[in-house]
Structure 1
Amino acid sequence: MPSDRALVIGASGGIGAALASELEARGQAVTRLSRRDDGFDAVDPASVERHLGALQGPFDLILVAIGILAPEGQGPEKSLDAIEADHMARVMAVNAIGPALILRHVPRLLAPGGRAGVLSARVGSIGDNRIGGWHSYRASKAALNQIVHGAAIELARQDRDAILVALHPGTVETDFTARYAGRHRMVSAEEAARNLLQVLGNLDPAQSGDFYDWRGEEVPW
């Protein structure tokens, strides 16, 4: 996968930092952008415009690794009666609206034939939902998947060789998942980064707009 220049958004998080470090270890020039280190606020349109508008492309690879499971101090809902409007709005803002604002800039920043991946989650799959619960998180990732799919269609009109996909990294050992360890096989952030980069590298333009897990298997919508 040619990626002389890469942009990692959310580079201070567990997976984002691992992705940036893995790319740098491979000799790539990586631009890191995050809320913690740069004041980048994905849910603030002015912040997104200021930071991304100042970047000069093209980037051969763009990775969007932002997201929350629930508002700080809260957990995902286990039932419908646990839904709170302000909590749901916050999760939707970070997980769906933020990436949508970022994706507005991808057609300008992505190199011809470049690749872009947005971290999603298998629990956002409607077809794969068998146990319910986690309503805000599931809904936000389902919305994100729709946004990625639509953005990929639009991107293809500009560059039919470009690739934009949603990616499920598996259950990764980060602060994000610490309270939910034990329910699924856990992998390190470093292993997840390697897996995701391999998946992206093996895709072809016909697969743009789809949803893949860390093994390269397509996830149902």
Structure 2
Amino acid sequence: MNQTRQTNASHTFLAAHAIKQLREERGLTQRALAESLGVTDKAVSKWESGRGLPDISLVEPLAQRLGISVAELLAGDIRANANRAGNMLKGVFYVCPICGNVVHALGEGSFSCCGSTMFPQEAEEPDADHAFSIERIEDDWYVTLDHPMTKDHYISFVAYATMDGICFKKLYPEQSVQPRFHITGRGRIYLYCNQHGLFTSLTPRK
């Protein structure tokens, strides 16, 4: 399986267009960056040209190699976000209409995937069909929703965001919607339906 197919399968979360700028600013070749991450230079070339995205497991080490925080790398607009602490609750979600890849950006950006533009999603309060519950169980938020999980209609991901962090749980057809998140503070739960869009609700007070 090549790097692009691996990326599509894992639905990586990354603003890929910033990689080339950061790599060149640090005097790294594609080969040098690739070797430090354990991938091929062809994979890096695909990331920089928008024909593929890194696996989610590579996001943190990639940010470290490029000398930038994960939040800044996700934001995409490096100059606008340099040396600025990001508030993850103010981020915007962009979703690929073809493969379901998602980008969480702290600033405005232009993202594409599978040859299509990724448009920003406006989060809404849950309607009757997407009214998920958030329950605290020990040190975790337990999110549940009774929702169709078919090939054509399903919950694509659930995310838990606080001011200084965000955690994603990718879901697939035939799975149940029952993700758990370790509690790191009060924040928001986001839930994305592939047919009806993005919904959000505040986590309960501790």
Query: Which fold has the larger relative contact order, with Cα–Cα distance below 8 Å and residues 6 or more apart in sequence?
Result: 1
> What is the TM-score when the length of structure 1 is the normalising length?
0.26
> What is the TM-score when the length of structure 2 is the normalising length?
0.27
> Going by fraction, where is helix more abundant, 1 or 2?
1
Q: Which has the larger radius of gyration?
A: 2
